[in-house]
Amino acid sequence: MKTSRSVLVALSLAATSLTLPSLCAENDFKPGPAPAWTLKDVDGQAVSSEQLKGKVIVLDFWATWCGPCRSEIPGYVELQKQSGPAGLAIVGVSLDRGGPAVVKKFIADLKINYQIVMGDDRIAEAFGGIEAIPTTFIIDRTGTVRYRKVGAMAPEEFAAVLKPFLK
């Protein structure tokens, strides 16, 4: 009887996991033109999608208080270091309500080497609404959003997803 119960529990868990939505929302994602945007960095300087034209952009919506967001940052730092010369531009869109001072300290503490801008409701809505963070988009060199992930991903896994766009 004990074996039967264990098998039923295992089958139940397996069936449940098949019906749960994936953390990566590729299954309902449709590529399309990236919206144009202009946001201010932590020093108040304007940064726009137009300035990044021709680059592969990783647009990452995050916040300093988000554990999964924090866990991805070292991977993004390494990706920017390795692939920046190949035309990669990582842009972190901070959704922190505490303002640039909180984010600026965080950038220094984590030695972030990529562009950080302060997000707002307007950019979140332009990208279809950000329901969870981190939410990350890959925008190809032509300005088309090609990929979206919701939730954290291992650095090597994300690098593999990004690689074809850098060619």
The answer to whether 151 and 133 have CB atoms below 8 angstroms apart is: no
Domains of the chain, each with CATH number or no CATH: 22-166 (3.40.30.10)
Q: What is the pLDDT of residue 112?
A: 98
What pLDDT was estimated at residue 11?
Answer: 29
Q: How far is CA 73 from CA 1, 4, 10, 43, 91, in A?
A: 48, 45, 35, 20, 11
The pLDDT of residue 73 is above 70: yes
Report the predicted TM-score, pTM, of the whole model to 2 decimal places.
Answer: 0.83
Query: Which tens digits make up the pLDDT trace of 116-159?
Result: 999 999 999 999 999 999 999 999 999 999 999 999 999 999 99
